[in-house]
Chains A and B, each alone.
Chain A
Amino acid sequence: MEVWDAIWAGLGGAVSWPAFGLMLMAIPIGLVIGIIPGMGGNMGLALLIPFTFGMDPISGFALLLGMHAVVHTGGSIPAILFDTPGTGPNAATCIEGFPMAQKGEAGRALGAALTSSMLGGVLGAVFMALVIPVVRPMVLSFGPPEFFMLAMMGVAFISLMSGNSILKGLMAGGMGLVISFVGMDPQTGVVRFSFGILELMDGINIVTIVVGLFAVAEVIDMGIKGGAIAHSKSPNLKGSGVMQGVKDCFLNWWLVMRCSVIGNIIGIIPGLGGDAAAFICYGHALQTTKRRDEYGKGCVEGVLATDAAHNSKEGGALIPTLAFGVPGSSGMAILLGAFMILGVSPGKEMFTEHLDLVFSMVWVLVFANIIAVAICLPLAGTMAKITFLRTSVMIPFILVCGILGSYLTTSRIGDILITVLFGVIGYGMKKFDYARGPLILGIVLGKIAENALHVSLNLYGMKFIFEPIAFVILLITLATVFFPVYQSYARKKKEARK
């Protein structure tokens, strides 16, 4: 009964004045910050925190959470329209989102992405509320051995993401792995692959690479081919397919639901990060789909999966932040600092005495996600029309947008060169039919895998493989790798018998 009271009290808090008004103000800010490549939720928080001084806790986090919850919603828009992810996790949206735009389905992609991120955000918040009783064992059962195995599971997706040639996919994945090694190795303090360039000591930021690999490569391609982003005129430019995208989301509700839960769990476990969440969900969609041939060429399922993931993980990331005072992401670290200024102290009491506060946060997440999409959806059709513009108009715009994003992310001029370099690499990969997804996957998972392996070996030795959850993940990975092999073997045998 008490829980119901807390839910209602939380709702009361979330819709009280001025909290609700502040949240309404925060949502457009979050969307714009998401849309501008290179500006992320962290920057938004840093900008907004000074305004929260003197506010009551609920108003304070209505402002901060309202903004933070919808950043990735906005970030998908440039990812679909220009192949330039607004934030790191939106990189995964590019893989299917932009090819959809090229097919003339930008509106459908936007509709699907927005609706899916809304459902992801809402489901993430609900799931967060549901797991409160089991939060402790859930969060604490994932350590370095499990991270390593999850990363290996992700590596297994490379074979699915490779397109026509598994060999080429593996090559791209291997290259991604090597790129993830650039920088200082935490285990030895040795700087790897930096060629004496100090700026490379920290490694290469994922946004720097993705902007080059996708946006710049696309610009080169467009410059050569001409035309518009969308190669074919959309059959119904009027409705522009936005509603179709919304419908797709509900037709594939089971996929959206699963990806929301996966994203949420990854959010709850600090250490894997938002980039990994979107990619793991993309891999999951690929693995379970019946339309594998369409992937890489603009399949709406891929957009649904990634966008459900990155918004649902925000709810998850709140859990360790509130329960243990340990933030699940860098954004959450800033939020935690703000919460403590507002007088919200983390700990077990959050889920006993201050449960209403927690539910206020859940409600803010729910409302913010719904309202953000309500703002964006009516505009999606107009936004989609951009993809039908002449490339000579679009190229300067995309280049400026992408390079600004690359620079804003790290504030280093040298990173623009890296972006351009990856632009050339990306164009080459596109031309010679190397899938770019595995490369990104290698970069995202390489660091996690290497580090988790070292720490696991350091803590447990080779026995870490037999940590129960890690072992189960390993078995699942092996099954997913070998089951198709067995299937095709069985099929061949059957045919041979015939």
Chain B
Amino acid sequence: MRTKKICLGFVLGALLSLAATVHAAASNPDLDFYKGKTVTYIVSTKTGGGYDTYARLVARYMQKYLPGSKVIVKNVPGAGHIIGANTIYQAAPDGLTIGTFNTGLIYGQIVGQEGIQFDLNKFSWIGKANSETRVFVVGAKTPYKSFKDIMESKSPIKMPSSGVGSEDHNETVILAAALPANFQVVPGYAGKEAEMAILRGEVPAVLGSYTGLSGLIAAKEGRALMQYGSENGIPELNGVPHINSISVSPAGKSMIDLVNSIDVIGRLTAAPPGMPAGRLAVLREAYKKALTDADLIKDAKKYNLGLDPAYGEEVQRLVAAGINQSPDNLKMLRQIIKTD
């Protein structure tokens, strides 16, 4: 009797575990697909630098959660991330090509920039790793004590930008129209030259990412008067007002929302459009597991990389909110950031 029961138990157990195995296999053909496959992660910049570092970190940990796969990083630089984004967009949507590029391409798509062969609305969004806090910094010797002084300035405030059509240029002119503020943009300051211009006193102010400008602020050569983008406070910026606390017109508000949303979607990962739903789900799951992996978090800390992840549909929604502006807004934005 007893043996019978045990036998029954065994049989039942075996059946159950078999069912479980069958179930697992049946529900994850898309995960099994990755066994023995190579996934290419495209980075739209050269090796070294922020995008590359994030990409290599994400790729390493996604490989861990796509069992049996190999995730390799390929750098496809050029034309301000456009070539990389085009390459990802045009890749076969089989889940073996994913990649990263600058969210600032939203501006390019809005004005129909030359060379763009993608529609950001159609990418299969996988996730984003960070949000960027950006700051408005004035030189330590300038008379401006608060952002209110900037907005009330009668004389134009010269603002350096790397060049017409670049992300920082677009941001400067959009904020000038949205706030509004009396900015006069001086293009031609590539990279760190803008900060030198602050030191030399050629221009009173600059805007840029906190990571980029933290050296200037730490050296007490510049004062942050306003922050925008991510609201996840950086301790060093405590007491610096966020742009959302400035009251502006409704049209201005929607433009500021656009700028903020672009900065919030930092270090994104996307796949080509038209992915099979199951495979996209697997990639999103692997991305989510990677970004919540305790070792990745530890590594990010070591490399001094901020983390503020969001996943799948939420990123899709954020991007859509950025691009899908009202016709009036679009017209206005095109006016502001046109490149001729």
Contacts and interface: CB of A to CB of B under 8 A. Distances in A.
User: Interface extent on A, as a size class?
Assistant: 35 or more
Given A199-B78, A410-B46, A411-B75, A189 B193 contact: no
B79 interface: yes
Interface in B156-196: 158, 162-166, 186-193, 195-196
B105 interface: no
Interface in B284-331: 302-304
Interface string A400-435: 000000000011100000000000000000000000
B86 to A, nearest CB: 8
B22 interface: no
B302 A53 contact: yes
Interface stretch (A73-81, A84-92, A97-105, A338-346): A338-346
B78 A458 contact: no
B38 interface: no
B278 interface: no
B218 A346 contact: yes
Contacts of A334: 48
B47 A337 contact: no
Contact of A337 (B77, B163, B219, B304): B304
B199 interface: yes
A43 B47 CA distance: 7
A451 interface: yes
B110 interface: no
Given A187-B188, A411-B75, A336 B196 contact: no
B219 A186 contact: no
A458 B197 CA distance: 13
Contacts of A18: none
Interface string B107-132: 00000001100000000000000000
A139 interface: yes
A326 B219 CA distance: 9
Contacts of B114: 191
A412 B215 contact: no
A67 to B, nearest CB: 14
B219 A325 contact: yes
A201 B339 contact: no
B270 interface: no
Given A202-B78, A458-B186, A143 B202 contact: yes
Given A199-B78, A340-B304, A184 B165 contact: yes
Contacts of A244: none
B197 A143 contact: yes
B77 A412 contact: yes
Interface in A436-459: 451-452, 454-455, 458-459
B106 interface: no
A131 to B, nearest CB: 16
Contacts of B215: 324-327, 336, 340, 346
B339 A188 contact: yes
A323 interface: yes
Interface residues of B, number: 50
A199 B83 contact: yes
A174 interface: no
A411 B47 contact: yes
Of A140, A271, A324, A340, most B-chain CB atoms within 10 Å: A324
Interface in B135-169: 158, 162-166
Contact of B219 (A43, A45, A53, A346): A346
Contacts of B76: 411
Nearest to A415: B78
Contacts of A337: 304
Contacts of A454: 187-188
Nearest to A140: B200
Contacts of A16: none
A55 interface: no
B252 interface: no
Closest 9 CB pairs of A and B: A186-B163, A325-B215, A189-B339, A189-B164, A347-B219, A189-B165, A201-B79, A325-B219, A46-B48
24 contacts: A46-B48, A184-B165, A186-B166, A188-B340, A189-B163, A189-B164, A190-B339, A199-B83, A201-B79, A201-B82, A202-B77, A202-B78, A271-B193, A320-B196, A325-B195, A326-B216, A326-B221, A346-B218, A348-B219, A410-B78, A411-B77, A451-B188, A455-B186, A458-B188
Interface of B: 46-48, 52, 75-80, 82-83, 86, 114-115, 158, 162-166, 186-193, 195-197, 199-203, 214-221, 302-304, 339-340
Given A53-B302, A140-B199, 11 more contacts: A143-B202, A188-B164, A189-B164, A202-B77, A325-B217, A326-B192, A327-B192, A334-B48, A337-B304, A346-B218, A411-B47
